[in-house]
Amino acid sequence: MKTIMALGYVALVLHAHLPFVRHPERDYVLEEEWLYEAITETYIPLLRVFEGLQRDGIDFKITMSLTPPLVSMLRDPLLQERYHEHLGKLEELTLKEIENNQHNGHVRYLAEFYYQEFTQIRQTWAKYNGDLIVGFQQFLESNNLEIMTSGATHGYLPLMKMYPQAVWSQIKVACDHYNETFGRPPKGIWLPECAYYEGLEKMLAKAGLRYFIIDGHGILYAHPRPRYGTYAPVFTETGVAAFGRDHESSSQVWSSKMGYPGDPEYREFYKDLGWEADYDYIKPYIMPNGQRKNTGIKYHKITNTQGNMGNKEFYDPYWAREKAAEHAGNFMYNREQQISHLANMMQRPPVVVAPYDAELFGHWWYEGPWFLDYLFRKTWYDQSTFDMVHLADYLRHNPTQQLCRLSQSSWGYKGFHEFWLNDSNTWIYPHLHAATERMIDLSNLEPADELEERALNQAARELLLAQSSDWAFIMRTGTMVPYAVERTKTHLLRFNQIYDDFQLGTINANFLDSIEAIDNIFPNIDYRVYRFSGNREQGTGNRK
């Protein structure tokens, strides 16, 4: 046990989110593999790190958001069964690779490494009976993991602010879903895309939330200027605290020029067996229509080539692990120096908030979970300058903070809203706003029977799903754009059909059955959540 009083704190925060991608109406959809890849490369590896730390008596502290769409997918029996099959194909392919590379020593070594990895992933998957939320919850109960919520479907809240009902629904449905999942209310929220606008804190307070994450400049440009910058939270006028992202610790990981994931020893993400193997050989493991795709089996390291994918050296997990340990030590050393410097200037213990997308660790940066494992072990044994901390615990131990009015911001390109509102995606917002106005009208009605109640609740689900910031984000990045467009249009079309049928009194029970089976998120949603207006909920009305 540590006995020396630390000078300050580091709060490591991972944002685990994927859009709701579930297609029971089709046998195969490539986008469902976003979830399968994240399970294999991020979520199960993180659980294995947590298990190892707990086993070895290391009282680690880490915060994660598990968004409602991700939680819903991880607990969905259909997706669990499809992941079981997906993992089975990976195991089968690695066995073939071992057999076919008897005389290619390094490739055989890597194939055996992957087979061992997939075997351990299978063991963890079986340990939790395919429900990884059970795994994460055990660390919530042990107070090693603090779990935050996010927007119900990761809706971009500043672009909804003209409709308080829509913002409130994103927050309230998420908090209710968290309570149903974990048996307790959430303490904090990762605002989708860290996007904040002035006044949002009033709804967060009404929902019972104690803190939220904001990008650094949202605090640095607050009024009055925060005395301690981003190294202490600030209170909003509602009493909800805001923690700002630390630029220095973030850039050490995120930066394309100086970030750890770009080291030449690490695994190259963009060279995959699915694209490089003989076509007839790899065909059973790619898309059913014969198109190639990533398999997750990658044999090369980044190397020192400038964009030349044909000149990559073979990857070696042993040396990559050594590099991850080196980088963990460097990250720890830099935090020691940073916190020692800050502690000399502050009248309270500084807190360095280091938030990242969870999928960076393992999926994009294959060695990321190893880095985290080494970081927790090194900070526990090799230093006494700082402690790892949960944000709620920091607030509890430091209840007096400066009161500020925050600046509108996000963690996107240029720090505001441009990435989610630009020439590539601006067309979606008139349709989303029109649907929101219709949903507000529907929320003031009382159903005549169970079928009408189901229709109203499904309308709320469809609008929430259409509002996901992921669709606008994908349109802007230019990847998988047809799918993002299809999802936006499909949810809006389903919503509008429900609305029109409801107005005409001709609800189609078969249609409702089919979309309830497809878009089955939030089974306990109550459409009346859209009655919210200001600080009170509106009364009920009658259909005209």
Q: Which residues are annotated as a binding site?
A: 245, 262, 411, 470
**Could you give the CA distance from residue 140 to residue 183 in angstroms, rounded to a whole number?**
11
**Could you give the CA distance from residue 95 to residue 110 in angstroms, rounded to a whole number?**
11
394-to-9, 210, 241, 377, 471 alpha-carbon distances in Å: 8, 12, 11, 21, 35
Q: Which residue is listed with tokens 């195991």?
A: 91
Beta carbons of 122 and 146 less than 8 angstroms apart: no
Q: What angle do CA 364, 367, 370 make, to 5 degrees?
A: 135
Pinpoint the alpha helices (H) of 447-508: 450-466, 469-477, 481-504
Query: How many of the other CB atoms lie within 10 Å of CB of 264?
Result: 13
Q: Which residue from 210, 209, 232, 211 is spatially nearest to 222, judged by alpha carbons?
A: 232
Query: How many of the other CB atoms lie within 10 Å of CB of 478?
Result: 8
Which of these is catalytic: 193, 246, 272, 462?
193
Query: How many of the other CB atoms lie within 10 Å of CB of 405?
Result: 13
Residue 31 known to be catalytic: no
Residue 246 known to be catalytic: no
Phi, psi for 535 (deg, rounded to 5) = -105, 15
Helix (H) or strand (E) holding 533: strand 532-533
What is the distance between the terminal CA atoms of the chain, rounded to a whole angstrom?
67
Residue ranges of the annotated binding site for substrate are: 245, 262, 411, 470
**Could you give the CA distance from residue 482 to residue 378 in angstroms, rounded to a whole number?**
45
Q: Find all residues with CB under 8 Å of 251, minimum gap 6, and list them.
A: 258, 259
Which of these is catalytic: 316, 357, 441, 537?
357
**Could you give the CA distance from residue 292 to residue 287 in angstroms, rounded to a whole number?**
6
176-to-49, 179, 529 alpha-carbon distances in Å: 29, 5, 11
For residue 14, what are the β-bridge partners?
A: 64, 356
Give catalytic residues, as residue numbers: 193, 357
